[in-house]
Amino acid sequence: MDLEFNVQGGDFVRAGNASSQIKKVLKQLNADSAIIKRVVVALYEAEVNIAAHAYDGVIRANIDTERIRLLLDDNGPGIPDIERAMTPGYSTASSAVREMGFGAGMGLPNIRANADEFVITSEVGKGTHLEITVYLNQ
Amino acid sequence: MTMKISEIVQCLDAQVICGAEQLDKEVEYAFASDLMSDVLTVKKERMLLITGLANLQTLRTAEMSDIEVVLFVRNKAVTDEMLELARESGIVLIASPCTLFKVSGILYNHGLKPVY
């Protein structure tokens, strides 16, 4: 099953919509609730990151009986130093993002913590690409 | 030790904003935070979220974290959009005019557990 969602930068009204839809699909597929939580927490963190940092982005989800793979591509400023961005507590979020309860420098580490496989690549001035894989039967 | 939502409402003299039909649900843990990034790292089930941050992303965070009841403190206003999202996600919303520290102390005394 393939699903696709668009995310707008700065849109904190709709941020979380894609994660919510994916959660409904995984529930319908009777996935384990602890695994669903790992998937949607990781995806929600990543979705909020697009809303917080990028101009826009696309979330693609591919679900089969074994695993869910989430591909997130944004058009945005990119991340100059990924290792630093992965450091808990490091953040470049705006005050608007912090007012929403985020921007504490915990998003990327929490995505990695919830994913079975996590790949992040980024090009400064172009955007960031994330691949999040979670196995559904482990 | 668990508490029904109705017992939480009663001991805090809190207002039920939505989900009145779900007050028999029980929680075992409580987590008090205005930082949603911290909420998203918690693994516990049957957990009450106590927060002074009232916006749509508070409810999205609860939805993703399988949190079934949110207690807003410090007299926060709940918008129609928040109400709609809470109903859609089946989240019970309750509210208290008290501080986060005060409601946390009362609920701790009633036996709700910290997550760590």
pLDDT(A33) > 90: yes
Q: Do B37 and A101 touch (CB under 8 A)?
A: yes
Rg, C-alpha atoms of chain A: 14
| Closest chain A residue to B40, measured at CA | A41
Q: Which of B60, B65, B48, B66 is nearest to B86 (CA)?
A: B60
CATH number of the domain where residue A59 is located: 3.30.565.10
Residue ranges per structural domain of chain B: 3-114
Contacts of A58 (CB under 8 A, 6+ apart): A4, A5, A6, A7, A72, A73, A74
Mean pLDDT of the region A73-78: 97
ipTM for the predicted complex: 0.95
- Best probe of the B interface among A14, A20, A25, by most B CBs < 10 A, is A20
Number of domains in chain A: 1
- CATH superfamily of this structure's domain B3-114: HprK N-terminal domain-like (3.40.1390.20)
Written as six digits, the tokens of B109 are 């005394």
pLDDT(A138) > 90: no
- CA dihedral defined by B92, B97, B101, B105, rounded to 10 degrees? -70
**Within 13 A of A79's CA, how many CA atoms are on the CB side?**
23
The answer to whether B3 and B107 have CB atoms below 8 angstroms apart is yes
Instruction: Summarize pLDDT for A84-125 with one digit per residue, the tens.
Output: 999 999 999 999 999 999 999 999 999 999 999 999 999 999
